[in-house]
């Protein structure tokens, strides 16, 4: 059976996404996403119910572009 790997084209431009989608898009584990959530610069999730947590897809994309460009708020906002 052939399975396809998710691509950046599969990640929505806007709307809500689950942590698994964020992890796949950013090429990191879900555990790493949880650790990154402690960083105030990382997109923060929104709790929709007691068991449903989502991220804003556009915010995740912006964070990825800034991190690829080497943006660091501590270094760049002096």
pLDDT tens-place string over residues 19-56: 999 999 999 999 999 999 999 999 999 999 999 999 99
In this prediction, residue 45 carries a pLDDT of 97
CA count, 13 A, side-chain hemisphere, 36:
21
Burial class of residue 15 (count of CB atoms within 10 Å of its CB; 0-12, 13-18, 19+)? exposed
Burial class of residue 48 (count of CB atoms within 10 Å of its CB; 0-12, 13-18, 19+)? exposed
Predicted TM-score (pTM) of the model is 0.77
């Amino acid at each position: 059976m052939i399975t396809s790997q998710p691509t950046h084209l599969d990640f929505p431009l806007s709307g809500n996404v689950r942590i698994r989608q964020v992890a796949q898009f950013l090429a990191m584990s879900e555990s790493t996403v949880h650790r990154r959530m402690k960083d105030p610069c990382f997109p923060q999730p929104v709790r929709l119910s007691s068991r449903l947590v989502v991220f804003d897809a556009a915010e995740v994309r912006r964070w990825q572009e800034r991190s690829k460009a080497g943006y660091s708020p501590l270094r760049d906002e002096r």
